[in-house]
């Protein structure tokens, strides 16, 4: 839709602050509808009532984008150089590298295509049909053909097809949770609002596209269509939202830069040394390039992908479906979990919690007599429908009352067969009451009334207490209002119940039916918190993660739920509540200063959610955002990790998410955080293992070049990298989590794969491996196994160096199980996967030496028992030396820093 059309459809954003006559004048409409000619004209002028598709990139463009990553570029260069240095004779390295790069690119395109489904899901939510007044009569049209000025009729069960200013409302209730996050349907009123800044959830005279009519009927003037609607604005925000670069990607980019610099330095030094030793320039370049290629851990991207993929499988079994691989690791660095309330921390299901009857307040779980009048009235004065399978259909407040009856073995379907409804006064938002009249067996009639406590008390003259009716005194009224106030302070939605007996069906007038009532009691309801959510919040806090509630619900409700969950600590000054209206009054700079003071945000709009996420990101925090509604989609996309709800979530929120909770369980997020921390730690171990091994190889070849030794051949390096790098590295990637991982603070955005002692470990362990390998080679030259036979001596030395470097790396894999802890603390043989990987790698390494026929291929010889003793002893010493160094580090407290 063009900017001109958008401007035309958004003549004003404050229709709710204008009276109906002004709105009709502004959109040039009448309450009897537009003419067909005018509709055609406006369709051409405004466009169809649908969301923009936006530009879609081709598969080729998406595929090429995957090659912009620095590590991928380095690997592609490495592939080319590996072919050049082998003069085209050995292309195995190049094939492996290219295979890894292509696999990563394909995965990237698949994930991007899934993410683009968010806008398509928004489009699919549109109502297919709408009832409108046109040409003086009512007709059904496609919702895409609505234009500003159309008069749309609404009734229970409809999906609102466009943004409308209501001018008719008969007991009209609209459920707007997907837009506002408020769990209770909004009772619509026709009052002109005075506050232009009022939030969407409080615009009671408006109906918004894609919300659901749950009760009553109404009519409205279409004021905005397509991208100008509130849903359209969200779609625009979603399309324009910046995807935050994940900590994993940032870490890999930093690693790529470090490796690039290191490789260039190594290549330059090697080339310079070659020239100083009189090596021809071209040959020196080839040596330097070969060394540089050997320094790149070409298997790292693939192993990281494998580790992440295995992490997604673990999470899938625990109800967390990961849509983007880096999300697994990102969760582990999460410092802020900004959670929606409705459906995420709560059940998204109104539930009776307290019942005040016969002068006594009961918990919902307490026993209640089937003769209790409150129980009877809440079931009788109720329009809930019960389907064949027992599903309750109707207003959430009313279905909660019926469910309470079912929970106490009270089946209203059986009761109304005996005492059927014969007349009713439907709920009206002006009088805030509903009444039904029932035929009794003795010939009398029961009038059952429910409604707002203050309104019902005005019409009551008696009360029921201890099984008897007595006059309702002023003192009684104060007592009842006090109990009502206490329930309301607990964020309970309170309804009052009353009744009277009459001899015949009265005239259906409120002044006749709903007067001289007997007050029976009160019921307090709430959308309750999930049972496991409070424990999950506590675990999050222990893990150094700050949970924050962001909701469209009322402040009192949000605050009460937050206290019950432990999100708000009443003793802390940094756990205050702020509303969207108050947030509007703060500039970005002012908000940033007081950001840490607020743990609950109530009555917020989609723009607020994105603003809150961005503010915490400005503090350098890694933010996870949970949500299930359309209104959550932009913030889900803006957060470091967006977490959608699988059951209650819309397709839009799922499409914008990095991860979806199959069980809608907040506690599952904590499981995912623990898995994310484990994944990061294991990737660190993998990087430590691979880079220390690569450093050992580079150091061995570099120093050997200085000494004039021919220590390792390209085939040796290739086999060692293939055998001893791949299997142990993958096994390290799936190691069990180290103890107390959820008692530690989040590592945050600034932490890298080299933090926590990993960098220093890579350096000293790489040097140690290289020194041991060179030491064995030098010692091998002195062993008189083949005295006088230079070629045989060199062959043995070469074989011993090859075997030593390979075995050292296998033994070293045990060291890498923890940066500072002893292998005996973490358990050397705890993981069966690790044990098998070491065994398989060992057998493959030994096969090149022990199996006849392989000797020629790998240019190795058969070793004596003495030589094998030197090789194995030197290799095993790697564990002993590193254990000693770790013990010293722990003694100095280095592991605590």
Please give the residue that has the higher pLDDT: either 634 or 54.
Answer: 634
Query: Which residues, 6+ apart, have CB-to-CB distance to 403 below 8 Å?
Result: 351, 352, 392
Pairing outcome for strands 445-451 and 493-502:
antiparallel
pLDDT at 461: 96
Band the pLDDT of 87: cuts 50, 70, 90.
Answer: low
Q: Which of 103-112, 719-728, 741-750, 864-873: highest mean pLDDT?
A: 864-873
Query: Which residues, 6+ apart, have CB-to-CB distance to 668 below 8 Å?
Result: 318, 319, 320, 661, 662
Please state, rounded to an integer, the average pLDDT across all residues of the chain.
82
Is the pLDDT assigned to residue 4 strictly greater than 60? no
Phi-psi region of 626 (alpha: psi -120 to 50; beta: other; left: phi over 0): beta
Mean pLDDT within 312-322: 82
Q: Which domains are assigned to the chain?
A: 3-53+122-238 (2.70.150.10), 321-326+333-347+530-664 (3.40.50.1000), 351-526 (3.40.1110.10), 683-896 (1.20.1110.10)
Please give the residue that has the higher pLDDT: either 226 or 478.
Answer: 478
Mean pLDDT within 302-314: 76
Q: Can you read off the two tokens belonging to residue 441? A: 């067996």
pLDDT at 377: 97
Q: What percent of the chain has pLDDT over 70?
A: 84
Q: Would you list the DSSP string of 820-850?
A: SS-HHHH-TT--HHHHHHHHHHHHHHHHHHH
Q: Would you list the DSSP string of 681-741?
A: HHHHHHHHHHHHHHHHHHHHHHHHHHHT-----HHHHHHHIIIIIHHHHHHHHTPPPPTTG
Please give the residue that has the higher pLDDT: either 645 or 470.
Answer: 470
pLDDT at 880: 95
pLDDT at 103: 66
CA–CA distance from 321 to each of 244, 293, 393, 658 (Å)? 20, 37, 30, 9
Helix or strand or coil: residue 450?
A: strand
Q: Is 340 a catalytic residue?
A: yes
Mean pLDDT within 724-736: 83
Q: Can you read off the two tokens belonging to residue 867? A: 């030589």
Q: Which of 230-244, 310-324, 648-662: highest mean pLDDT?
A: 310-324
Is the pLDDT assigned to residue 563 strictly greater than 60? yes
Catalytic choice (340, 383, 725, 796): 340
pLDDT at 439: 96
Is the pLDDT assigned to residue 1 strictly greater than 70? no
What does the alpha-carbon distance between residue 662 and residue 645 come to, in Å, rounded to a whole number? 7
CB 766 within 8 A of CB 849: no
Backbone dihedral angles phi then psi of residue 496, each to the nearest 5 degrees: -110, 155
Nearest-10 Cα torsion for 336, 342, 346, 347: -140
Please give the residue that has the higher pLDDT: either 93 or 488.
Answer: 488
Q: Is the dihedral of CA 290, 294, 295, 301 positive or negative?
A: positive
Is the pLDDT assigned to residue 630 strictly greater than 80? no
Please give the residue that has the higher pLDDT: either 80 or 548.
Answer: 548
pLDDT at 3: 40
CB 628 within 8 A of CB 339: no
pLDDT at 287: 63
Please give the residue that has the higher pLDDT: either 225 or 267.
Answer: 225
Q: 845-896: per-residue pLDDT in tens?
A: 888 888 877 777 677 888 889 889 999 999 999 999 999 999 999 888 887 6
Q: 346-393: per-residue pLDDT in tens?
A: 887 889 999 999 989 999 999 999 999 999 999 999 999 888 778 888
pLDDT at 840: 92
Band the pLDDT of 746: cuts 50, 70, 90.
Answer: confident
pLDDT at 671: 87
pLDDT at 247: 61
pLDDT at 623: 93
What does the alpha-carbon distance between residue 612 and residue 618 come to, in Å, rounded to a whole number? 10
Band the pLDDT of 125: cuts 50, 70, 90.
Answer: very low
Q: 249-294: per-residue pLDDT in tens?
A: 666 667 767 777 777 787 788 778 777 777 777 666 666 665 665 6
789: Cα separation from own chain's centroid: 67
Q: 669-716: per-residue pLDDT in tens?
A: 888 888 888 888 888 898 899 889 888 888 887 787 777 777 777 667
Q: 511-559: per-residue pLDDT in tens?
A: 999 999 999 999 999 988 888 888 889 999 998 999 999 887 788 888 8
Q: Any idea which residue has 């003259």 for tokens? A: 461
What does the alpha-carbon distance between residue 450 and residue 800 come to, in Å, rounded to a whole number? 90
Is the pLDDT assigned to residue 324 strictly greater than 80? no
CB crowding 409-443: b at 16 or more within 10 Å, else e: ebebeebbeebebebbbebbbebbbbbbbbbeeee
What does the alpha-carbon distance between residue 266 and residue 552 come to, in Å, rounded to a whole number? 58
346 DSSP β-pair partners: 529
pLDDT at 598: 93
3-state secondary structure 39-54: HHHHHHHHCCCCCCCC
Pairing outcome for strands 151-155 and 433-439:
unpaired
pLDDT at 498: 97
Band the pLDDT of 434: cuts 50, 70, 90.
Answer: very high
The gap between the terminal CA atoms of the chain, to the nearest Å, is 57
Mean pLDDT within 167-188: 81
What does the alpha-carbon distance between residue 233 and residue 163 come to, in Å, rounded to a whole number? 12
What does the alpha-carbon distance between residue 91 and residue 73 come to, in Å, rounded to a whole number? 18
CB atoms closer than 10 angstroms to residue 282: 8
pLDDT at 126: 42
Listed range (295-304, 585-594, 633-642) with the worst mean pLDDT: 295-304
pTM of the model: 0.66
């Amino acid at each position: 839709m063009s900017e001109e059309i958008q401007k035309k459809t958004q003549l004003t954003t404050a229709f709710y602050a204008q009276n109906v006559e002004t709105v009709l004048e502004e959109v040039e409409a009448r309450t009897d509808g537009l003419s067909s000619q005018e509709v055609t004209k406006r369709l051409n002028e405004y466009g169809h009532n649908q969301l923009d598709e936006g530009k879609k990139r081709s598969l080729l463009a998406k595929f090429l984008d995957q090659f912009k990553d620095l590590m991928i570029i380095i690997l592609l260069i490495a592939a080319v150089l590996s072919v050049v240095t082998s003069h085209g004779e050995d292309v195995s390295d190049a094939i492996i590298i290219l295979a890894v790069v292509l696999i990563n690119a394909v995965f990237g395109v698949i994930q991007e295509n899934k993410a683009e489904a968010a806008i398509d899901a928004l489009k699919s939510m549109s109502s297919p049909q709408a009832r409108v007044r046109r040409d003086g009569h009512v007709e059904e049209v496609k919702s895409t053909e609505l234009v500003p000025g159309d008069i749309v009729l609404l009734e229970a069960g409809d999906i609102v097809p466009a943004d409308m200013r209501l001018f008719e409302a008969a007991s009209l209730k609209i459920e707007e949770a997907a837009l506002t996050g408020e769990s209770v349907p909004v009772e619509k009123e026709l009052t002109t609002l005075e506050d232009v800044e009022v939030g969407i959830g409080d615009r009671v005279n408006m109906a918004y596209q894609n919300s659901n009519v749950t009760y009553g009927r109404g009519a409205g003037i279409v004021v905005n269509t397509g991208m100008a609607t509130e849903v359209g604005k969200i779609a625009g925000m979603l399309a324009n939202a910046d995807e935050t670069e994940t900590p994993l990607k940032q870490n890999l980019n930093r690693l790529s830069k470090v490796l690039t610099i290191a490789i260039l330095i190594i290549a330059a030094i090697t080339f310079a040394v070659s020239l100083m030793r009189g090596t021809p320039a071209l040959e020196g370049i080839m040596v330097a390039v070969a060394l540089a290629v050997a320094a790149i851990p070409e298997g790292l991207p693939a192993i990281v992908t494998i580790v992440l993929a295995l992490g997604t499988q673990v999470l899938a079994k625990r109800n967390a479906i990961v849509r983007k691989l880096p999300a697994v690791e990102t969760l582990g660095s999460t410092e802020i979990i900004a959670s929606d309330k409705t459906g995420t921390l709560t059940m998204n299901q109104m539930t009776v919690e307290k019942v005040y009857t016969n002068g006594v307040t009961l918990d919902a779980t307490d026993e209640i007599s089937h003769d209790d009048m409150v129980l009877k009235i809440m079931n009788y004065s109720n329009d809930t429908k019960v389907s064949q399978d027992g599903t309750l259909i109707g207003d959430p407040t009313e279905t909660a009352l019926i469910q309470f009856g079912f929970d106490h073995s009270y089946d209203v379907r059986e009761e109304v067969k005996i005492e059927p409804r014969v007349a009713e006064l439907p709920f009206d938002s002006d009088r805030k009451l509903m009444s039904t009249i029932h035929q009794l067996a003795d010939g009398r009639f029961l009038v059952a009334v429910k409604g707002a406590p203050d309104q019902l008390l005005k019409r009551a003259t008696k009360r029921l207490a201890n099984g008897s009716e007595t006059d309702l005194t002023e003192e009684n009224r104060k007592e009842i209002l006090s109990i009502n106030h206490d329930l309301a302070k607990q964020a309970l939605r309170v309804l009052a119940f009353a009744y009277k007996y009459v001899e015949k069906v009265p005239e259906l007038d409120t002044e006749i039916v709903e007067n001289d009532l007997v007050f029976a009691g009160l019921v307090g309801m709430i959308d309750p918190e999930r049972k496991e959510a409070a424990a999950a919040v506590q675990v999050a806090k222990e893990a150094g993660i700050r949970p924050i509630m962001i909701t469209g619900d009322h402040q009192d409700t949000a605050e009460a739920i937050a206290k019950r969950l432990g999100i708000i600590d009443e003793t802390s000054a940094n756990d205050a509540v702020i509303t969207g209206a108050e947030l509007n009054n703060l500039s970005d700079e002012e908000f940033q200063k007081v950001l840490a003071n607020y743990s609950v945000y109530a009555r917020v709009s989609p723009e607020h959610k994105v603003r809150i996420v961005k503010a915490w990101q400005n503090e350098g925090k890694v933010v996870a955002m949970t949500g299930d509604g359309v209104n959550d989609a932009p913030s889900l996309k803006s957060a470091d990790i967006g977490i959608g709800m699988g059951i209650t979530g819309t397709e839009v929120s799922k499409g914008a998410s990095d991860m979806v909770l199959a069980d809608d369980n907040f506690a599952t997020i904590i499981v995912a955080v623990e898995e994310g921390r484990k994944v990061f730690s294991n990737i660190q171990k993998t990087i430590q293992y691979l880079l220390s091994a690569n450093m050992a190889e580079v150091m061995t070849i570099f120093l050997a070049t200085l000494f004039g030794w021919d220590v390792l051949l390209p085939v040796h390096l290739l086999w060692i990298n293939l055998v001893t790098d791949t299997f142990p590295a993958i096994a390290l990637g799936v190691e069990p989590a180290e103890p107390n991982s959820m008692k530690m603070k989040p590592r945050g955005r600034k932490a890298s794969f080299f933090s926590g002692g990993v960098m220093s470990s890579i350096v000293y362990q790489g040097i140690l491996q290289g020194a041991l390998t060179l030491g064995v080679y030098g010692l091998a030259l002195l062993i008189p196994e083949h005295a006088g036979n230079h070629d045989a001596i060199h062959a043995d030395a070469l074989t011993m160096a090859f075997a030593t470097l390979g075995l050292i790396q296998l033994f070293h894999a045990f060291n890498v199980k923890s940066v500072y802890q002893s292998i005996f603390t973490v358990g050397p043989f705890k993981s069966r996967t690790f044990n098998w990987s070491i065994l398989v790698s060992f057998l493959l390494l030994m096969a090149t030496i022990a199996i006849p026929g392989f000797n020629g291929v790998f240019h190795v010889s058969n070793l004596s028992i003495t030589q094998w003793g030197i090789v194995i002893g030197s290799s095993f010493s790697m564990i002993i030396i590193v254990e000693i160094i770790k013990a010293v580090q722990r003694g100095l407290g280095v592991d605590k820093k």
